[in-house]
Amino acid sequence: MWEVGCVRQDVRCPDVRPTELDLVELDGEWYLAAVATDMNITGECAFMVFNHKNMNTTDVSISWITNNTASYYNGSVALTVGRNGGDLLLVTYIDKKTETYSVLAVDYEHYAVIFACYDDPSGNGSTYELWKLTRAPHLKRTDAVQLDRAVANYSLQNTSFMFFNNSERSCKLNGGYLNQASLVLTSATALALFRRLY
């Protein structure tokens, strides 16, 4: 059982090169190969599902499995333009927390590196999150090289990551396996019902 923490560094956030993103291509499930985040993710199996809704918005559900029980953190994603140009992922979670992520590298069929960084207002360093995602449950060697290269391009190679097993056994739930495709739809329905009641 692991719990991840975001990373504190004694330098300002790196300037990220602009990336043009395609929300439709981002759709589907992505396994978390490794993360460094302050999000309370524990477990051996973790993944996220993007579900494109319309021109500029997508639902996202981050899931992790501990002792054959799933936990979720859901939100919506919109594209926004970064200060250097290019696209950023603006994620608003159901608890109203927002994060702005840059994509350091993406191959929509294989891998993605997602990064958020915030400079300390006092000018004494920064705090960042880093997510290595893959389409396959197990990290392929060729994808690992590309992920590591993207991280090293921004001098983040010394990041302490939490790694996930993502085996069939660790991703098994009590009573079966998680149907990730229906997860976002169920979450969206629950959110719509909640909004209607309040």
At 110-157, the pLDDT tens digits run 999 999 999 988 888 888 999 999 999 988 999 999 999 999 999 998
pLDDT for res 175: 55
pLDDT for res 67: 85
* pLDDT exceeds cutoff 60 at 4: no
pLDDT for res 183: 46
pLDDT for res 194: 39
Sign of CA dihedral 193, 183, 64, 36: negative
pTM: 0.81
pLDDT for res 189: 45
> How is domain 8-174 classified at the CATH fold level?
Lipocalin (2.40.128)
Which comes out higher in pLDDT, residue 124 or 77?
A: 77
Residues counted in the chain: 198
Domain spans of the chain, in order of start: 8-174
At 5-63, the pLDDT tens digits run 568 888 888 888 878 999 899 999 999 999 988 777 778 899 999 999 877 679 999 99
How do strand 87-93 and strand 28-36 relate by DSSP bridges?
unpaired
Q: Specify whether the CB–CB gap between 46 and 64 falls below 8 A.
A: yes
Q: What six digits make up the tokens of 150?
A: 């993207």
Q: Mean pLDDT, to the nearest integer, of 179-187?
A: 46
Least confident interval from 67-81, 93-107, 138-152, 162-176: 162-176
pLDDT for res 9: 80
pLDDT for res 47: 93
Of 154, 158, 108, 152, which Cα lies nearest the Cα of 133? 108
Q: What six digits make up the tokens of 158?
A: 């010394």
